Structure 1
Amino acid sequence: MRNSYGVNDGAKEFEFICACCGKPQRGSPAYGYDKPMEYFDIPENERGDRVQYDTDTCVIDRDQHYIKCTLDIPIIGAAEPLCWGVWIKLSATAFESYRDGIGSDQSSFKEVGWLTCTLPGYNELDQGGSLINLEVDVVGNPAGLRPSAYLSERDHPLVRDQHNGISWAQAKAYVSSMPH
């Protein structure tokens, strides 16, 4: 059980009805972004020259460095969290340290980064203010697993939800319109 905050004792499998297909779904969902938002700021015809990208890392204009991390939001009573694959901006030094260790155990990797995406239910217009540039602690994991992103203390609904968990009803509301 990936439960960093201890909110789920004796938990069960999460279930919901997909709003897209109407079928019941079992298991906590995981969603992610293929590229950092800043990637889309680059004109399509310039991306080949300005962007170095793979599924785990992205460098834009040689001075913007991103890695893909998991950001888990515990669902109270569920065995597994709602998991987001998010892009985190790192310093050049931290990025190189992470990239040098890809494929090996990175459990000792710990850096500060900044969230660079929006999430349904947490966007500026939804509640709580912008997610862009929320500070996160990036913590490495064993080989084969993406690093984890833990939001730093701040008065933002996403920070509270990552630390305290969300109800089944909240989780269902967040994922009901997301494709599976």
Structure 2
Amino acid sequence: MAAIFAYKCRKCDELHEGSPSFAFDAPAPYRYLSEQERGEWAELSDDLCVIAHPEGTQYYVRALLEVPIHGVEEPFLWGVWVSASETSFHRYLDSYDKPPEDPIFFGWLSNLIAVYPTQKSRPADVHIQTDGTRPRVRLHRTDDESDALV
């Protein structure tokens, strides 16, 4: 049976089947920095971002936000960035070597997903995975019962 979704990969130029996904390459606060500020204050990798500006240091972790698709087994994935406290950031880094005692930390969604009606930062729980994959994000409910991301 053919998959419901098929897409052409930008990296390998191959056709893939399965649920689509989109990802942000950096947290929004990194994008707001000038090129000079990025060079002086920020470190960005595929999975981590640290912005050490004069007002303080901000920590971000790349994670996956799963959005179920009715009638499809695989969820739609958003590759998003979430903020982390310094303690949670280091706990996440330590999880590369050993599973954390508490695999969940609080953060804020640090990207605005324009196709959804809520255009503000969202509180979230970040679930560290023990299989080496990116953490999963569970957004907190808002007052809007029709919230498509929860």
Scaled to the shorter chain, the TM-score interval is 0.7 to 0.9
Write the letter of the residue equivalent to 2:106: V
Ranges in structure 2 where 5+ consecutive residues have no aligned partner: 9-14
Match of 2:142 in 1: 154
Q: Which of 26, 44, 52 does residue 53 from structure 1 map onto? A: 44
Q: Following the alignment from structure 1 to structure 2, what is the Cα–Cα distance between the partners of residues 96 and 137? A: 16
Match of 1:28 in 2: 19
Q: 1:81 to 1:114 in 2, by over 3 A?
A: same
Q: Which of 99, 115, 139 does residue 109 from structure 2 map onto? A: 115
Q: 1:117 to 1:107 in 2, by over 3 A?
A: farther
State the TM-score, normalizing by the size of structure 2: 0.80
Match of 2:12 in 1: none
Q: Does 1:70 align with 2:61?
A: no
Q: Following the alignment from structure 1 to structure 2, what is the Cα–Cα distance between the partners of residues 17 and 57? A: 27
Deviation at 1:53, TM superposition (A): 1.8
Q: Does 1:143 align with 2:131?
A: yes
Bigger proportion of residues as strand = 2
Q: Following the alignment from structure 1 to structure 2, what is the Cα–Cα distance between the partners of residues 154 and 118? A: 15
Q: 1:143 to 1:91 in 2, by over 3 A?
A: same
State the TM-score, normalizing by the size of structure 1: 0.68
Deviation at 1:99, TM superposition (A): 1.6
Write the letter of the residue equivalent to 1:54: S
Q: Which of 108, 112, 130 does residue 119 from structure 2 map onto? A: 130
Q: Following the alignment from structure 1 to structure 2, what is the Cα–Cα distance between the partners of residues 99 and 145? A: 13
Ranges in structure 1 where 5+ consecutive residues have no aligned partner: 1-11, 19-23, 164-180
Q: Which structure would you say has the larger RCO, counting Cα contacts within 8 Å and 6 or more residues apart?
A: 1
Runs (4+) of structure 1 moved beyond 3 Å?
A: 103-108
Deviation at 1:120, TM superposition (A): 3.4
Matches for 1:91-106 after TM superposition, within 5 Å: 91-102=85-96, 104-105=98-99
Equivalences, count: 140
Sequence identity percentage: 30
